[in-house]
Structure 1
Protein backbone atom coordinates (compact mmCIF):
# COMPACT_ATOMS: atom_id res chain seq x y z
CA UNK A 1 0.00 0.00 0.00
CA UNK A 2 1.38 3.40 -1.00
CA UNK A 3 -0.69 5.61 1.29
CA UNK A 4 1.49 7.65 3.62
CA UNK A 5 4.88 6.74 2.16
CA UNK A 6 5.26 9.98 0.17
CA UNK A 7 5.81 13.35 1.81
CA UNK A 8 4.46 15.26 -1.17
CA UNK A 9 3.15 15.03 -4.72
CA UNK A 10 6.64 15.56 -6.16
CA UNK A 11 7.97 12.45 -4.36
CA UNK A 12 5.05 10.39 -5.62
CA UNK A 13 5.57 11.66 -9.18
CA UNK A 14 9.28 10.87 -9.03
CA UNK A 15 8.59 7.35 -7.76
CA UNK A 16 6.18 6.53 -10.59
CA UNK A 17 8.47 8.10 -13.20
CA UNK A 18 11.14 5.66 -11.97
CA UNK A 19 8.64 2.79 -12.24
CA UNK A 20 7.82 3.84 -15.81
CA UNK A 21 11.49 4.30 -16.72
CA UNK A 22 12.41 0.80 -15.47
CA UNK A 23 9.45 -0.67 -17.35
CA UNK A 24 10.47 1.07 -20.60
CA UNK A 25 14.09 -0.01 -20.16
CA UNK A 26 12.88 -3.62 -19.95
CA UNK A 27 11.12 -2.99 -23.27
CA UNK A 28 14.44 -1.93 -24.83
CA UNK A 29 14.42 1.87 -24.49
CA UNK A 30 17.47 3.79 -23.28
CA UNK A 31 17.06 6.62 -20.74
CA UNK A 32 18.41 10.04 -21.74
CA UNK A 33 16.90 12.51 -19.22
CA UNK A 34 14.20 12.88 -16.62
CA UNK A 35 12.15 15.94 -15.65
CA UNK A 36 13.28 18.37 -18.33
CA UNK A 37 11.85 21.75 -17.28
CA UNK A 38 11.37 24.80 -19.47
CA UNK A 39 9.05 27.81 -19.53
CA UNK A 40 6.40 25.77 -21.36
CA UNK A 41 6.24 22.86 -18.92
CA UNK A 42 7.95 19.60 -18.13
CA UNK A 43 8.84 16.41 -19.96
CA UNK A 44 8.78 13.48 -17.54
CA UNK A 45 11.09 11.11 -19.42
CA UNK A 46 13.25 11.42 -22.51
CA UNK A 47 14.42 8.11 -23.91
CA UNK A 48 15.63 6.55 -27.13
CA UNK A 49 14.15 3.58 -28.92
CA UNK A 50 16.97 2.63 -31.30
CA UNK A 51 17.39 5.88 -33.30
CA UNK A 52 14.03 7.40 -32.32
CA UNK A 53 13.82 10.03 -29.59
CA UNK A 54 10.90 9.22 -27.29
CA UNK A 55 9.28 11.86 -25.09
CA UNK A 56 7.20 10.24 -22.36
CA UNK A 57 4.39 11.63 -20.20
CA UNK A 58 3.80 9.56 -17.05
CA UNK A 59 0.58 9.63 -15.02
CA UNK A 60 -0.39 7.67 -11.93
CA UNK A 61 -3.82 7.27 -10.37
CA UNK A 62 -4.58 4.98 -7.46
CA UNK A 63 -8.12 4.24 -8.63
CA UNK A 64 -10.45 4.43 -11.59
CA UNK A 65 -12.35 7.23 -9.88
CA UNK A 66 -12.68 10.20 -12.24
CA UNK A 67 -11.54 8.09 -15.20
CA UNK A 68 -8.22 6.79 -13.88
CA UNK A 69 -4.75 7.43 -15.27
CA UNK A 70 -5.65 6.67 -18.89
CA UNK A 71 -7.94 9.70 -19.06
CA UNK A 72 -5.56 12.35 -17.75
CA UNK A 73 -3.85 13.52 -20.94
CA UNK A 74 -5.91 16.61 -21.68
CA UNK A 75 -5.64 18.80 -24.79
CA UNK A 76 -4.03 21.51 -22.65
CA UNK A 77 -1.41 19.07 -21.33
CA UNK A 78 -0.71 17.87 -24.88
CA UNK A 79 -0.13 21.48 -26.01
CA UNK A 80 2.29 22.15 -23.13
CA UNK A 81 4.08 18.89 -23.89
CA UNK A 82 4.42 19.77 -27.60
CA UNK A 83 5.88 23.16 -26.74
CA UNK A 84 8.28 21.62 -24.22
CA UNK A 85 9.45 19.08 -26.81
CA UNK A 86 10.10 21.83 -29.36
CA UNK A 87 12.06 23.74 -26.71
CA UNK A 88 14.11 20.65 -25.85
CA UNK A 89 14.91 20.08 -29.50
CA UNK A 90 16.06 23.70 -29.84
CA UNK A 91 18.11 23.58 -26.64
CA UNK A 92 19.92 20.43 -27.74
CA UNK A 93 19.99 21.24 -31.47
CA UNK A 94 18.14 18.15 -32.53
CA UNK A 95 17.19 18.58 -36.17
CA UNK A 96 15.81 16.02 -38.60
CA UNK A 97 15.56 13.29 -35.99
CA UNK A 98 12.87 10.67 -35.65
CA UNK A 99 10.72 11.29 -32.61
CA UNK A 100 7.52 10.14 -30.99
CA UNK A 101 5.46 10.96 -27.94
CA UNK A 102 4.44 8.10 -25.63
CA UNK A 103 2.13 8.00 -22.64
CA UNK A 104 2.56 5.70 -19.65
CA UNK A 105 -0.49 5.41 -17.41
CA UNK A 106 0.05 3.61 -14.10
CA UNK A 107 -3.04 2.47 -12.28
CA UNK A 108 -3.55 1.07 -8.81
CA UNK A 109 -1.40 -0.17 -6.00
CA UNK A 110 0.92 -3.13 -6.08
CA UNK A 111 1.39 -4.70 -8.56
CA UNK A 112 0.83 -1.69 -10.75
CA UNK A 113 -1.11 -1.91 -13.97
CA UNK A 114 1.09 -0.18 -16.54
CA UNK A 115 -0.40 0.93 -19.84
CA UNK A 116 2.13 2.08 -22.44
CA UNK A 117 0.64 3.93 -25.38
CA UNK A 118 3.10 4.62 -28.17
CA UNK A 119 2.67 7.63 -30.45
CA UNK A 120 -0.10 9.11 -28.33
CA UNK A 121 -0.29 12.19 -30.60
Structure 2
Protein backbone atom coordinates (compact mmCIF):
# COMPACT_ATOMS: atom_id res chain seq x y z
CA UNK A 1 0.00 0.00 0.00
CA UNK A 2 1.47 3.33 -1.04
CA UNK A 3 1.58 6.09 1.57
CA UNK A 4 -0.60 9.03 0.55
CA UNK A 5 -0.20 11.82 3.09
CA UNK A 6 3.09 13.42 4.16
CA UNK A 7 2.68 11.82 7.61
CA UNK A 8 2.13 8.39 6.02
CA UNK A 9 5.20 8.84 3.82
CA UNK A 10 7.25 9.91 6.84
CA UNK A 11 5.97 6.89 8.78
CA UNK A 12 6.87 4.57 5.92
CA UNK A 13 10.41 6.02 5.77
CA UNK A 14 10.75 5.52 9.53
CA UNK A 15 9.66 1.88 9.16
CA UNK A 16 12.12 1.42 6.28
CA UNK A 17 15.00 2.72 8.45
CA UNK A 18 14.04 0.59 11.43
CA UNK A 19 13.62 -2.49 9.24
CA UNK A 20 17.10 -2.05 7.76
CA UNK A 21 18.54 -1.47 11.24
CA UNK A 22 16.91 -4.59 12.69
CA UNK A 23 17.94 -6.72 9.71
CA UNK A 24 21.50 -5.51 10.27
CA UNK A 25 21.12 -6.75 13.86
CA UNK A 26 20.24 -10.22 12.50
CA UNK A 27 16.45 -10.19 12.68
CA UNK A 28 14.49 -11.58 9.74
CA UNK A 29 11.28 -10.00 8.41
CA UNK A 30 8.17 -12.20 8.53
CA UNK A 31 5.50 -9.61 7.77
CA UNK A 32 5.06 -5.86 7.50
CA UNK A 33 1.98 -3.81 8.41
CA UNK A 34 -0.04 -6.80 9.59
CA UNK A 35 -3.67 -5.75 10.02
CA UNK A 36 -6.53 -7.49 11.74
CA UNK A 37 -9.65 -6.44 13.62
CA UNK A 38 -7.55 -5.72 16.72
CA UNK A 39 -5.18 -3.29 15.07
CA UNK A 40 -1.94 -3.12 13.13
CA UNK A 41 1.57 -4.35 13.85
CA UNK A 42 4.29 -2.43 12.00
CA UNK A 43 6.90 -5.18 11.72
CA UNK A 44 6.82 -8.86 12.61
CA UNK A 45 10.28 -10.39 12.67
CA UNK A 46 12.17 -13.46 13.79
CA UNK A 47 15.07 -13.34 16.22
CA UNK A 48 16.17 -16.96 16.24
CA UNK A 49 13.19 -18.97 17.52
CA UNK A 50 11.43 -15.86 18.85
CA UNK A 51 8.68 -14.00 17.00
CA UNK A 52 9.23 -10.27 17.52
CA UNK A 53 6.38 -7.78 17.21
CA UNK A 54 7.86 -4.32 16.58
CA UNK A 55 6.06 -1.03 17.06
CA UNK A 56 7.81 1.78 15.17
CA UNK A 57 7.39 5.35 16.41
CA UNK A 58 8.63 8.60 14.90
CA UNK A 59 8.52 11.97 16.56
CA UNK A 60 9.73 15.03 14.69
CA UNK A 61 9.13 17.20 17.75
CA UNK A 62 9.84 16.16 21.36
CA UNK A 63 7.45 18.75 22.84
CA UNK A 64 4.78 16.06 23.11
CA UNK A 65 7.10 13.38 24.49
CA UNK A 66 9.52 11.04 22.80
CA UNK A 67 8.69 8.31 20.36
CA UNK A 68 9.22 5.52 22.87
CA UNK A 69 7.01 7.05 25.55
CA UNK A 70 4.10 7.22 23.13
CA UNK A 71 3.41 3.47 23.40
CA UNK A 72 0.97 3.67 26.29
CA UNK A 73 -1.05 0.91 28.02
CA UNK A 74 -3.91 1.23 25.55
CA UNK A 75 -1.54 0.79 22.58
CA UNK A 76 0.17 -2.11 24.32
CA UNK A 77 -3.17 -3.86 24.79
CA UNK A 78 -4.03 -3.43 21.10
CA UNK A 79 -0.62 -4.76 20.05
CA UNK A 80 -0.99 -7.74 22.38
CA UNK A 81 -4.40 -8.61 20.95
CA UNK A 82 -3.19 -8.26 17.35
CA UNK A 83 -0.11 -10.37 18.13
CA UNK A 84 -2.24 -13.13 19.69
CA UNK A 85 -4.41 -13.07 16.57
CA UNK A 86 -1.35 -13.34 14.32
CA UNK A 87 0.11 -16.28 16.26
CA UNK A 88 -3.22 -18.10 16.21
CA UNK A 89 -3.87 -17.35 12.52
CA UNK A 90 -0.40 -18.58 11.52
CA UNK A 91 -0.56 -21.49 13.99
CA UNK A 92 2.74 -20.49 15.55
CA UNK A 93 3.60 -21.89 18.95
CA UNK A 94 6.86 -20.07 19.59
CA UNK A 95 8.23 -17.61 22.11
CA UNK A 96 7.27 -14.03 21.35
CA UNK A 97 8.26 -10.57 22.53
CA UNK A 98 7.30 -6.95 21.96
CA UNK A 99 9.96 -4.45 20.90
CA UNK A 100 9.59 -0.72 20.37
CA UNK A 101 11.82 1.21 17.98
CA UNK A 102 11.74 4.98 18.11
CA UNK A 103 13.18 7.42 15.63
CA UNK A 104 14.04 10.94 16.71
CA UNK A 105 15.73 13.68 14.71
CA UNK A 106 19.44 14.25 15.32
CA UNK A 107 22.03 16.53 13.75
CA UNK A 108 23.73 13.67 11.88
CA UNK A 109 20.54 11.85 10.84
CA UNK A 110 17.68 10.14 12.68
CA UNK A 111 18.59 8.36 15.88
CA UNK A 112 17.11 4.87 16.33
CA UNK A 113 16.40 3.75 19.86
CA UNK A 114 15.51 0.06 20.11
CA UNK A 115 13.97 -1.39 23.24
CA UNK A 116 13.96 -5.18 23.20
CA UNK A 117 11.19 -6.79 25.24
CA UNK A 118 9.69 -3.35 25.88
CA UNK A 119 6.55 -4.72 27.58
CA UNK A 120 4.78 -7.96 28.42
CA UNK A 121 1.45 -9.06 26.97
CA UNK A 122 -1.41 -8.76 29.47
Q: TM-score, normalised by structure 1?
A: 0.89
Q: 1:19 matched to which residue of 2?
A: 17
Give the aligned partner of residue 104 of structure 2: 107
State the alpha-carbon separation in 1 of the partners of residues 32 and 53 from structure 2: 10
1:117 equivalent among 111, 115, 118: 115
**C-alpha distance in 2 between matches for 1:71 and 1:104:** 11
* Aligned-partner Cα distance in 2 for 1:118–1:85: 16
* 2:76 corresponding residue in structure 1: 78
Structure 2 unaligned segments of length 5 or more: list them.
none
Could you tell me which runs of 5 or more consecutive residues in structure 1 were left unpaired when the two chains were aligned: 1-5
User: How large is the RMSD of aligned CA atoms in angstroms?
Assistant: 1.4
The answer for the alignment partner of 2:45 in structure 1 is: 47
| Moved >6 Å (runs of 4+) | none
**May I ask how many residue pairs the two structures share in their alignment?**
115
| Residue in structure 2 matched with residue 3 of structure 1 by the alignment | none
Shift of 1:7: 3.5
Deviations 1:32-80 (A, max 9, x none): 1100000000000000111111100000001211112121001100000
Q: TM-score of the superposition, structure 2-length normalised?
A: 0.89
How far apart are residue 10 of structure 1 and its match? 2.0
1:23 is displaced (CA, Å) by 0.4
